[in-house]
Amino acid sequence: MASRREFLQKAGLSTLAISLPLANSFGKTNEIKNDQVLRVAIMGLGSYGTRVAEAMKDCKRAKLVGVISGTRSKVEAWQQKYGIPAKNCYNYENFDQIKDNPDIDAVYVITPNSLHKPYSIRVAKAGKHVICEKPMALNAVEGKEMVDACKAAGVHLLIGYRMHFEAKTLEVVKRQREGAFGKTLFFQGLSGFSIGDPTQWRLNRELAGGGSMMDIGIYSVNGSRYMLDEEPIWVTAQEVKTDPVKFKEGVDETITFQMGFPSGAVASCLSTYSLNNLDKFFLNGTKGFAEMQPSTGYGPIKAWTNQGPIEAEHITHQTTQMDEMAAIILDGKKPIIPVDGEEGLKDMVIVDAIYKAAKIGEKVMLG
């Protein structure tokens, strides 16, 4: 717990970051040959940061070259395990110095949600590309600040939407866009699991910005948009809390929410920290359907349609994600489903509306 307190104390310094010379620009990165590797530093060496690091061992276009952490023992362990040079190791107080390190191209921010904005902006001001884990921020206002800061710095802002590159997901999206299911009119997204340790940061409002919606529920928000290929125009929502001790004020346990789309399609979704076996997407149209379960877990993903199962090789999601993000940054590649800051901001606008709708008990219009 001492390291976490130090972590949060140091976070307060983040807003004091000053503008620094740029090390990269969109123009330069788009000129790079497609055999170049994106050199990445991971910020936040917890369980998910470790998962990304392990996945990057198999990347062809991305390489782990640096670390940023407030815990010296973790830095030392990663140095030894991944062969990271001392000059590429930073803490939360001094990582602005990466501006002077030509061996780091991008930083993947994998910290508690409340630190995504301040640390991403500091990375951008240091002239490095930003990859930020989802949700990109605590709310849409913060998300817009991140987008604006990265644009001003001339660096990419990408959000860690690994499912946007997953083969079976992309096949369902392709078929939907080709009209294989007819006019798609309904999406169901069930996102949840039974969360454990009540003292973890995900159940701390100051760190997480909420509860299940900010962690697992955003998959259904995001999934409804790319599965229906539309942006919602209204939301309604209802919150249920069965354990007010574990899920304190401002930390949502379960939220059911609905969204309406311009075509007339509707989405019905569930976000919860109290139930397992809920990782499911269902898309229904006038000519067919697609179903995925599990739909967003680490895999393998299982998917089928009215025509039968969808088959594709399972590749570790984070491996594919980092290679594809390298292609976006280095080659200017345009992904089928966007992963840029604007994409993350759209989700934050919807999440804000869901929380508002649950609070006031009324439909909230978007746009």
Q: How confident is the model at residue 24 (pLDDT cuts 50, 70, 90)?
A: very low
Catalytically annotated residue among 117, 125, 128, 134: 134
CA distances from 63 to 12, 34, 72, 86, 108 (A): 30, 14, 22, 16, 12
CATH code for the domain of 29: 3.40.50.720
Q: Is the pLDDT of residue 5 over 90?
A: no
Domain boundary among 114, 143, 159: 159
Q: Do both 119 and 172 map to the same domain?
A: no
Q: How high is the pLDDT of residue 134?
A: 98
360 and 213, same domain (yes or no): yes
Confidence of residue 305 (pLDDT cuts 50, 70, 90): very high
**Better-scored residue on pLDDT, 23 or 174:** 174
pLDDT tens track for 126-145: 999 999 999 999 999 999 99
Residues 72 and 120 in one domain: yes
In a domain, 335, yes or no: no
Question: What is the pLDDT averaged over residues 105-120?
Answer: 98
What pLDDT, on a 0 to 100 scale, did the predictor assign at position 21? 32
Q: Tell me, yes or no, whether 265 lies in a domain.
A: yes
Phi-psi region of 345 (alpha: psi -120 to 50; beta: other; left: phi over 0): alpha
Same domain, 121 and 75: yes
Does a structural domain hold residue 235? yes
pLDDT in tens, 212-240: 999 999 999 999 999 999 999 999 999 99
Do 136 and 29 reside in the same domain of the chain? Answer: yes
Residue 367 — very low, low, confident or very high, per pLDDT cuts 50/70/90? Answer: confident
Q: In this predicted model, which residue has the larger pLDDT, 11 or 119?
A: 119
Same domain, 170 and 95: no
| Cα radius of gyration rounded to whole Å, the chain | 20
Q: Identify whether 39 is part of a domain.
A: yes
Whether the pLDDT of residue 20 is over 50: the answer is: no
On whether residue 134 sits in a domain, the answer given is: yes
Question: φ and ψ at 102, to 5 degrees?
Answer: -75, -5
Residues 247 and 203 in one domain: yes
- Output the pLDDT for position 27: 34
Question: Which of 127, 159, 191 finishes a domain?
Answer: 159
Average pLDDT over the chain, rounded to an integer:
92
Single out the residue of 163, 165, 172 nearest to residue 306, CA to CA: 172
pLDDT tens track for 183-204: 999 999 999 999 999 999 999 9
**Could you tell me if 184 and 118 lie in one domain?**
no
Instruction: Tell me which residue range forms the domain holding 34.
Output: 2-159
Question: 192 and 69 in one domain?
Answer: no
What per-residue confidence (pLDDT) applies to 34? Answer: 62
Mean pLDDT, residues 293-309: 97
Q: Same domain, yes or no, for 140 and 212?
A: no
* Residues above pLDDT 70, as percent of the chain: 91
Q: Say whether pLDDT at 107 is over 60.
A: yes
Query: What CATH code is carried by the domain that includes residue 291?
Result: 3.30.360.10
Residue finishing a domain among 93, 126, 159: 159
Residue 12: is its pLDDT beyond 50?
no
Q: Tens digit of pLDDT for each residue in 141-171?
A: 999 999 999 999 999 999 999 999 999 999 9
pLDDT at 98 over 90: yes
Average pLDDT over residues 255-259: 98
Same domain, 176 and 249: yes
Residue 318 lies in a domain: no
Inter-CA distances, 85 with 41, 56, 66, 69, 285, Å: 11, 17, 8, 15, 53
pLDDT of residue 7: 41
Strands of the chain (E only): list them: 38-43, 62-68, 89-90, 106-109, 129-132, 157-159, 184-192, 234-240, 254-260, 266-272, 280-285, 289-292, 303-305, 308-309, 364-365
Residue 248 included in any domain: yes
Instruction: Confirm whether 134 is a catalytic residue.
Output: yes
In a domain? residue 324: no
pLDDT above 50 for 207: yes
Number of domains in the chain: 2
pLDDT surpasses 60 at 19: no
pLDDT band with cut points at 50, 70 and 90 for residue 4: very low
| Higher-scoring residue by pLDDT: 44, 35 | 44
What mean pLDDT comes out for the span 71-98? 98
Q: Are residues 106 and 180 in the same domain?
A: no
Selecting among 108, 161, 219, 273, the annotated active-site residue is 219
